[in-house]
Structure 1
């Protein structure tokens, strides 16, 4: 057979080098060899692929391609008697006379190689110009007899060698793995809302928390009682900020996902997971203050209502319609004309939430919720007062417990309100609006809650 060695930069030929043996490539997937990576790890690689990688073939070899014995060590062959043909040991890979470049790199210069060669020529031209200047300073000739002083000649050669080393650029021709596969661009990092909230003012506008000291206290309690060993895209601090941002701004999950760098479904999942835990942490903060604490923080707009201890109102939240017909009837609100959940909230004159009832269906009236809450038992008879709107028809209950009831007057069987009723209505409206807007100023001696 007229075999040639297919390894790049190898010119072995069976007729020219009859003492050499020529070997075929191993079959794909038949054997694996252990290879140590640059990081020191060991991995199993197909023996055929290892031959292709070491010999820099650059393509899938055919059945006619051969590798000569110059690329193997003598210990890689089996020595058997009465066998003229040399056979390689199992799991043997080429280890000697390995090529430096592949056939593709040596066949024709690519655009990248051309650019490298142009740069190399430019650097060599600069080095040549520098060499000419150095030659003018230290003239040399090929004949050693023409140099009068050998030490002067040696000094000139040292200078030229130093100039060559400073102006010569070593260009390594790229292999098959160094082709231009894509254009890589360093894109700037997009900051999330968590990274943009850097001041107390921004924290208050997005989450409703006044400062980072309070936020860090909530985070400390959360980490103490909530042990989560799962790996999350967002940290606990980021997830708490996500939940508080949802409560404060009521943004959609799509918007929240974009602001925090996650998907809308993941933002929804985090909010649903964090809500029960955060509710348990913040629920003890809702306490009913004493009359002394209420008096210390009484705003100016309540100067006509100094005995008011709590302002009551009912809040409704829209919910999904239940499948059960009885539940739909129970949750349907005539006032909202929709399926809602209703609960009663109590606010102090200073603007602090002091009471939250259990949830009821939207069908429940304000009077029923007030009666079942048993809130009136917390008030002092003949001393405290309750401020409500017109929906709370609880005169009989307040008279029973001897608690004063402050409510806007009704226009029943009247063409208009009297002057006293109009003035009282304006004062009540002013006080309630002041509470709802939260524009009052708290006194210096805040309550401990």
Structure 2
């Protein structure tokens, strides 16, 4: 009888049924069977038990025939409720028939299909948003710093071409499995450099995971850095003179480059010795220091590595290899912090810096004041370039310790991007 157990000493639970067990007349004794349904114990004689089983079987068959092959979310919920009802009706039997299991598998496949469609639509929307931003000069300049689409396309094509060679040489796997194509990855990396957004913010904006943003940023920073350091940016003396502005020609015609330094805030290091070497008295913060050199027409021609914030400009210049690039007869313009006049004099190079005032009450002479004004009027070019470099807002934030190994690459990339975004060699400024 399967789930139905023989029970002695009871009568049939169906009304108007006289069948019972252990009656006074043993000839009329009938076997009584019991089953549990909805928390209650039901008693049936053999005849009524067969009727009960037939009704249950008919009910189950009619439920199976009424279900449809096509499903949606509402039908899925209804099917689960029906299955739960069946299991309760059949004495808490949670066994699904094979037909039910096939339908459940079809439902799960359909749900997975819908999830994939949703992800595709999100990625398509994100891609369309990136392309619309690239095609709009205003948003392209806001998000990447490039003023026109043609310059941006030329830059991305060069970087992608180098990335293929870089991946083949240094990496064992492709970076295209991140779900975003190369051009859009470069756009996202430039957005982080230009706007200084956090990884979590970028992941939310472009519907990708934060780990994907982190891997993407690290990969492309290394690619751009390896590409930029291969580009010779030190121009010849003839090129510098050819594109020299009129304000330099009349007053400082031998100027080869203008030097200036800048500091980048970093998070307080955990090592106390590193804390001491990076503590900047001038900024009252832990910093790194870098020096940038610019030609008179505004082209970045020298980029030093980053040093701890307490390192002097003189020490950075002596360790950077700049002195080996200068030629006799050149002149360098800088501010008062670059105390390298002796080293430059040894290679027959002049140093143009504002004059020092000696004593608390001593004032500049008329000649010193005129010299200070003249130098300041032309040194403003390098300050504008440094401002353009720091338009990459990531350099205006406090760099966390987790990005310490990438900071130097980020600094070099941001300086080189200044040349790519607006090429100063496109315009001749020399008076004919």
TM-score in terms of structure 1 length: 0.56
Matches within 5 A, 1:322-401: 322-381=269-328, 383-401=329-347
Return the match for 2:86 from 60, 78, 90: 60
- Give the number of the structure whose residues are more often helix, by fraction: 2
Deviation at 1:430, TM superposition (A): 1.9
Q: Secondary structure at the match of 1:432?
A: helix
What secondary structure sits across from 1:335 in the alignment?
coil
Secondary structure of 1:60's counterpart equals helix
1:370 CA drift (Å): 1.2
Name the CA shift for 1:232/1:443 in 2 (closer, same or farther; >3 Å).
closer
Shift of 1:343: 2.2
Report how far residue 309 of structure 1 moved: 0.7
Task: Please name the residue that 1:111 is paired with.
Answer: none
2:307 equivalent to 1:307: no
Aligned to 2:366: 419
Q: Quote the Cα distance in structure 1 between the aligned partners of 2:245 and 2:205.
A: 38
User: Quick one: which of 164, 177, 192 aligns to 1:223?
Assistant: 164
2:268 is matched with which residue? 321
Where do residues 199-278 of structure 1 align in structure 2 (5 Å cutoff)? Answer: 199-200=136-137, 202-209=139-146, 210-226=151-167, 228-229=173-174, 231-264=177-210, 266-278=212-224
Match in the other structure for 1:104: none
Equivalents in 1 of 2:289, 2:158: separation in Å?
31
Whether the 8 Å contact between 1:296 and 1:443 is mirrored in structure 2 is no
Higher relative contact order (CA 8 A, sep 6+): 2
Structure 2, unmatched stretches of 5+, are 1-49, 71-78, 92-96, 101-117, 389-421
Indicate whether 1:293 and 2:293 are aligned.
no
For structure 1, the residue ranges without an aligned partner over 5 or more in a row are 12-24, 26-36, 39-52, 65-90, 95-184
Instruction: Please tell me whether the aligned partners of residues 203 and 212 of structure 1 are also in contact (alpha carbons under 8 angstroms).
Output: no
Deviation string for 1:329-363 (max 9, x for gaps)?
A: 22222222222222222111121211222322112
Q: Per-residue deviation at 1:390? A: 0.9
Where does 1:100-115 land on structure 2 (aligned, <5 Å)?
A: none
Match of 1:196 in 2: 133
In the comparison of the two structures, how many residue pairs are matched?
A: 291
State which drifts further: 287-296 or 267-276.
267-276
- Kept in 2: contact 1:287–1:354 (CA 8 A): yes
Alignment of 1:140-155 (within 5 A): none
Q: For 1:390, what is the secondary structure of its paired residue?
A: coil
Q: What is the TM-score of this pair, normalised by structure 2?
A: 0.58
Root-mean-square deviation (Å): 3.9
Change (3 A) 1:267 1:196: same
Q: Show the counterpart of 2:353.
A: 407
SS of the equivalent of 2:363 reads coil
Q: Find the aligned partners of 1:324 and 1:418 in 2 and give their Cα distance.
A: 48
Residue number in structure 2 paired with 1:283: 229
Question: How big is the shift at 1:267?
Answer: 2.9
Q: CA deviation at 1:442?
A: 4.8
Asked if the contact 2:133/2:140 (under 8 Å) is kept, the reply is no
Q: Structure 1, residues 63-89: CA drift from partner, whole Å, max 9, x if none?
A: 49xxxxxxxxxxxxxxxxxxxxxxxxx
Give the deviation of 1:194 after TM superposition. Answer: 5.1
Compute the displacement of 1:373 (Å): 2.0
Alpha-carbon separation, structure 2, partners of 1:57 and 1:359: 68
